[in-house]
Amino acid sequence: MLLEATLEHLADLRSRGVQFVNVDPSTLKALTQSTSPPRSAPAASPRHSRAGEPSPAGRAAPDQRSAGSATATSFPAVSQHARTPSGVPSAQDSSGPPSPTAPPLTALPRRSPAEKAAALEALRQPVIACQQCPHLVQSRTQVVFGVGDPNAQLLFVGEAPGEAEDRAGEPFVGPAGQLLTKIIQAMGLSRDTVYIANILKCRPDMPRGSRGNRAPRPEEMDTCKPYLLQQIDIIQPRLIVALGGTAVQGLLGLQTTMGSVRGRWHEFRGIPVMPTFHPSYLLRSEEGPDRGHREKRKTWEDMLLVLERLQLPITDKMRGYFLKPAPTGGGSAG
Near ligand URA by CB under 6 A, which window of 93-101, 114-122, 123-131, 272-280? 272-280
Between helix 218-235 and helix 113-128 the angle, nearest 10°, is 160
Q: Does 327 bind ligand URA (CB under 6 A)?
A: no
Task: Write the binding mask 219 to 248 for ligand URA: x where contact by CB under 6 A, - elsewhere.
Answer: -------------------------xx---
CB-based burial label for 151 (10 Å; 0-12, 13-18, 19+): buried
Considering only CA atoms, give the Rg of the chain.
21
Between helix 175-186 and helix 293-309 the angle, nearest 10°, is 50
Give the ranges where 85-213 is alpha helix by DSSP (H): 113-128, 134-139, 163-168, 175-186
Starting at the edge strand found earlier in the chain, the sheet holding 195-198 runs: 147-148, 195-198, 154-158, 239-243, 271-276, 266-268
Return left, alpha or beta for 99; rule: phi > 0 is left, psi -120 to 50 is alpha, else beta.
beta
Contact 254, 17 (CB under 8 A): yes
Q: Does 275 bind ligand URA (CB under 6 A)?
A: no
Q: Kindly state the smallest distance separating residue 13's Cβ from ligand URA, in Å.
A: 21
Q: From the list 68, 150, 171, 216, which residue makes contact with ligand URA (rule: CB under 6 A)?
A: 171
Near ligand URA by CB under 6 A, which window of 106-114, 147-155, 164-172, 300-308? 164-172
Q: From the list 57, 98, 149, 159, which residue makes contact with ligand URA (rule: CB under 6 A)?
A: 159
Q: Kindly state the smallest distance separating residue 11's Cβ from ligand URA, in Å.
A: 26
Q: Kindly state the smallest distance separating residue 245's Cβ from ligand URA, in Å.
A: 3
Q: Does 100 bind ligand URA (CB under 6 A)?
A: no
Q: Does 68 bind ligand URA (CB under 6 A)?
A: no
Q: From the list 100, 146, 161, 253, which residue makes contact with ligand URA (rule: CB under 6 A)?
A: 161
Q: Kindly state the smallest distance separating residue 92's Cβ from ligand URA, in Å.
A: 28
- For residue 107, give the nearest of 231, 227, 226, 236 by alpha carbon: 236
Q: Which residues 280-319 are close enough to bind ligand URA by CB under 6 A?
A: 280-281
Are β-strands 239-243 and 195-198 bridged in parallel, bridged antiparallel, or unpaired?
Answer: unpaired
Q: Which residues 174-213 are close enough to bind ligand URA by CB under 6 A?
A: 174, 176-177, 198
- For residue 50, give the nearest of 256, 263, 307, 298 by alpha carbon: 263
Q: Kindly state the smallest distance separating residue 72's Cβ from ligand URA, in Å.
A: 20
Q: From the list 140, 269, 278, 324, which residue makes contact with ligand URA (rule: CB under 6 A)?
A: 278
What Å distances lie between residue 110 and 12, 118, 240, 311, CA to CA? 31, 14, 17, 20
For residue 220, how far is the Cα from the chain centroid? 17
Binding-residue total with ligand URA (CB under 6 A): 19
Q: Does 216 bind ligand URA (CB under 6 A)?
A: no
Near ligand URA by CB under 6 A, which window of 29-37, 98-106, 161-169, 232-240? 161-169
Residues in contact with ligand URA by CB under 6 A are: 158-162, 165, 171-172, 174, 176-177, 198, 244-245, 258, 277-278, 280-281
